[in-house]
Amino acid sequence: MTDINSFITKVELEEGVEGPLAGFTIAVKDNISTKGIHTTCGSAMLKDYIPPYDATVVEKIKAAGATIIGKANMDEFGMGTTTETSYFGPTLNPHDNSRVAGGSSGGSAASVASGEAMLGLGTDTGGSIRCPAAFCGVVGIKPTYGLVSRYGLIAYANSLEQIGPIAKTVEDAATLLDVIVGHDVKDSTSVERKSCDKYTDFVGEKVDGMAIGVPVELIEGADEIVLESFKTAMDRMEQKGCMVREITLPSLEKAVAAYYIIAMSEASSNLARYDGVRYGISSGFEGDWNRMFSVSRENGFGSEVKRRILLGTYALSAGYQDRYYTKAQRAKAWIRKEFENAFSQVDAIASPTMPVLPFKLGEGHKDPLKLYLADANTVPVNLAGLPAISIPSESSKKDGPIGIQFVGPRFQEQKLIQLGSSVEIE
């Protein structure tokens, strides 16, 4: 098998316990804490870090009988769309090694797509589960904010990120979701589920009569091949009895700008702890703490992380916070309200997961803005705290996999599993 650089750390197989995930192998994204196993966030800053505890989701998958086979490669601290910002090098797309696997959970998606693991755990701050799922031709679920515990997740942007499953089928993704959901007293953002129904019970359920809205803002500007595949998927949904119609969500035009201001601002705060004293590599101490702090961060962080820290710090600085950060928070509230209004008329919202085909290696980083704009269809979901699923669609034989995204109301993952399993290509 071609080495696609899915794993940062490989773990020796151990005999698992009985449970709903017994017999499943799983790749865990490298920003999720694993006791006694390196957890690096794809960064030189944490290349030697070994957590003394397991994240809550890791405790749950172990108790369910899953076998962790490795820590999956990722963009450094989750900041990227291609895994090319990883200190350990990019993950290659299993379908075409000249293309990226997507990011930031590229290693998790590629390991599932290539058969190296049966399941993957990823994290999604602005599309980091759904993007690589689309680019690698697998299923990825971004849960409602608060549905899955974030305890043990090394933070990038606390108000946006969620841990979620990646799998080859909707049923397998639902099986993993059933295991990892639930309230956690160690995470103040986690919530109690109102329903105790298993998500797997909704796999294959009929979707006739369900209304699907397609925002014009999320299909404008998409590649022609992506649009053609999306229209084929929507035709299939209509044949199954769904009502598909165009809707408009004007606030989405502000989503990318608002997302990056909020995410970068939170990142600048979260990553301040990596100073060579509390966390991270140290440049040594020669009596000048300020110099040590500066040199440690210069050596420990890659260029994309430093770019986002600088922009986030600027957005939060005196005289600029109201101009940027406060406006971004208002846009976030506007986006959330428009989604709520839309869900009073439709059961779910559909769009291409990514408006572009998988990038060639090195293509996107010639123009960082192009990479940021590629997140246009995924970041609104995180701003609104909603659940979403990416399903493989008809792929381009030349240019690689294409994903279809369904977005649902808060805590309505079961609707997405119904829709996803209906459109799933067998």
Active site residues: 29, 104, 128
- Secondary structure, 3-state, the chain: CCCCCCEEEECCCCCCCCCCCCCCEEEEECCECECCECCCCCCHHHCCCCCCCCCHHHHHHHHCCCEEEEEECCCHHHCCCCCCCCCCCCCEECCEEEEECCCCCHHHHHHHHCCCCCEEEEEECCCCCHHHHHHHCCEEEECCCCCECCCCECCCCCCCCEEEEEECCHHHHHHHHHHHECCCCCCCCCCCCCCCCCHHHHCCCCCCCCEEEEEHHHCCCCCHHHHHHHHHHHHHHHHCCCEEEEECCHHHHHHHHHHHHHHHHHHHHHHHHCCCCCCCCCCCCCCCHHHHHHHHHHHHCCHHHHHHHHHHHHHHCCCCCHHHHHHHHHHHHHHHHHHHHHCCCCCEEEEECCCCCCCECCCHHHCHHHHHHCCCCCHHHHHHCCCEEEEECCCECCCECCEEEEECCCCCHHHHHHHHHHHCCC
